[in-house]
Structure 1
């Protein structure tokens, strides 16, 4: 073999080695993408999702090599379907909707159980509001009998919750003059005197209800007493809640119940990945970002991360919470 050909072979080998090393580095640095299905851009899920996505991404000091993004969506049901279908790695949902999906009940009746669904964390409460006109004379759930009440639109989680609440107090839709409107149109009809009350599920204070309280005057109907206690026992995705006095103009403190906003994923997601994501979520850096980034961010607390679980925790999340002493 000539010196030139040997030199060429060594050079060629060096090039191949460099390419191989470069390829290995490229593979090692390939980012892992983790989508978070949220809700509409005008709602609460989307900005909170953005905060969390930034906190857990490698560029935000979170999980090295992870690129998390908040994706606008149609909310709880759409996010669960996306997780189930593999078009999203995770998403936000109300705890009641998550429970129905996991058990094949409620909104998911007849559609089969989504048994691969798992919880990453409970985030914050979403309060059940029964908003009534101030002059309606409605002081309790039982007073809704014979009144014009919007239950929210067909296919919504609020409608199912409204039926459960009425049922707990011995009423059905037939006992009220039921309408099926989104919260916006329901609020307009309340203001115009064409509606007596409507159900709404969401974190307080809600802008549309605040505006209604200021412009027209409202009252919030309490969900309390032995009927509510039994409801809480029968449906573990509900929790006790209180709307503080003054949250809405001239509205006194109101005892009610809530569901929780939860962050869900699939059991198919790797345990180590979810463990590291949860660890990043509850870091000091994330805590500062949540506290300063959104009003609801302050309510996202480690000590309530395992509350109201209607769907099992992902093993990676469960491992972290056990290490922190939240679980036995």
Structure 2
């Protein structure tokens, strides 16, 4: 499933003619800028659609006949793989996964580094949700032992963080009855009592959890205590976070942790193209659209764009941030 824009939009340089910044030059034929997002029930997909739509609608690149597309995917790892292979021009990823990919550490230990991975912008915090049935008796992460728990699909950033959280509390996948489901199917299994809990990393409020909480008694399990403090000190891409009361029906304020959502691309993409995309992302019209379209859109600001970088900026994005004084 994809969110496609057929008005003025931006496209990757793959198979395209040279892009002249601010010149009004047009491509000889239509080309595409494919943005890998996540599952349709998560946060990446709707926010990615807003970004594709809003950037396209600004028309500020002066380039015609281009198509921006937000593409549903398995998430961070899958999006980086698509960028690496040329199957996508950009994608959403968690800041931890981007760092591991670029440095060849963590999840990418023993694998080739994704040295061409480049940052366009840090977007917003991504909260680690540990959703549980209210009657499952799960008050802390330690209570997951022996429970039926979904860690999300292989290739997602969520599964990586779920494993880190479990390990911080002395648990592994073998200590739980692990399943590997996206938040939509996981919520359905919680609803019919065939699953006790599931992890999901995404900006709150996320649609799948909103829908689940509207008709079922759920709780968010806090990720706190000395175990969480140690995790925060060891993994610098994690930050303390709080889900406010009322974000999900009948769910009180919950302390947890988060990573950052980032928009990344390849160093192979044209500098002028990425410069224009970055500039349009922070135009007045785009900012209004993002703020109106999703709760996390309010956090997609130029000031936040240069935080929690972890990997090098694409030269085109870096040029914009230096012009605006956000980077020196």
TM-score range, shorter chain: 0.7 to 0.9
Match of 2:59 among 54, 58, 61: 61
Q: Deviations over 1:251-287 (max 9, x none)?
A: 1101111222211111122334323322221121221
Query: In angstroms, what is the RMSD of aligned CA positions?
Result: 2.8
Distance 1:64 1:317, change over 3 A: same
Equivalent in the alignment of 1:20: none
Equivalent in the alignment of 1:311: 311
Distance 1:155 1:106, change over 3 A: farther
d(CA) in 1 for partners of 2:153, 2:42 = 17
Distance 1:193 1:41, change over 3 A: closer
Q: Which runs of 5+ in 2 are unaligned?
A: 1-23
Distance 1:290 1:318, change over 3 A: same
Distance 1:143 1:115, change over 3 A: same
Q: Deviations over 1:23-77 (max 9, x none)?
A: xxxx9433684513233556543443343334444x6232122635124242433
Matches within 5 A, 1:99-110: 99-110=99-110
Distance 1:237 1:229, change over 3 A: same
State the shift of 1:310 in Å: 2.8
Contact 2:134 2:217 in 1 (8 A): yes
Distance 1:179 1:73, change over 3 A: closer
Q: Which runs of 5+ in 1 are unaligned?
A: 1-26
Equivalent in the alignment of 1:154: 154
Distance 1:34 1:92, change over 3 A: farther
State the shift of 1:247 in Å: 1.0
For normalisation by structure 2, the TM-score amounts to: 0.80
Contact 1:46 1:70 in 2 (8 A): no
Equivalent in the alignment of 1:123: 123
Q: Quick check: 1:237 aligned with 2:256?
A: no
d(CA) in 1 for partners of 2:125, 2:52 = 20
d(CA) in 1 for partners of 2:271, 2:190 = 49
- Larger Rg: 1 or 2? 1
- Aligned pair count? 302
Matches within 5 A, 1:79-98: 79-98=79-98
Per the alignment, in what secondary structure is the counterpart of residue 124 of structure 2? Answer: strand
Per the alignment, in what secondary structure is the counterpart of residue 102 of structure 1? Answer: helix
Equivalent in the alignment of 1:24: none
For normalisation by structure 1, the TM-score amounts to: 0.80
Contact 1:36 1:49 in 2 (8 A): no
Contact 2:149 2:195 in 1 (8 A): yes
Equivalent in the alignment of 1:30: 27
Equivalent in the alignment of 1:113: 113
State the shift of 1:245 in Å: 0.1
d(CA) in 2 for partners of 1:107, 1:73 = 22
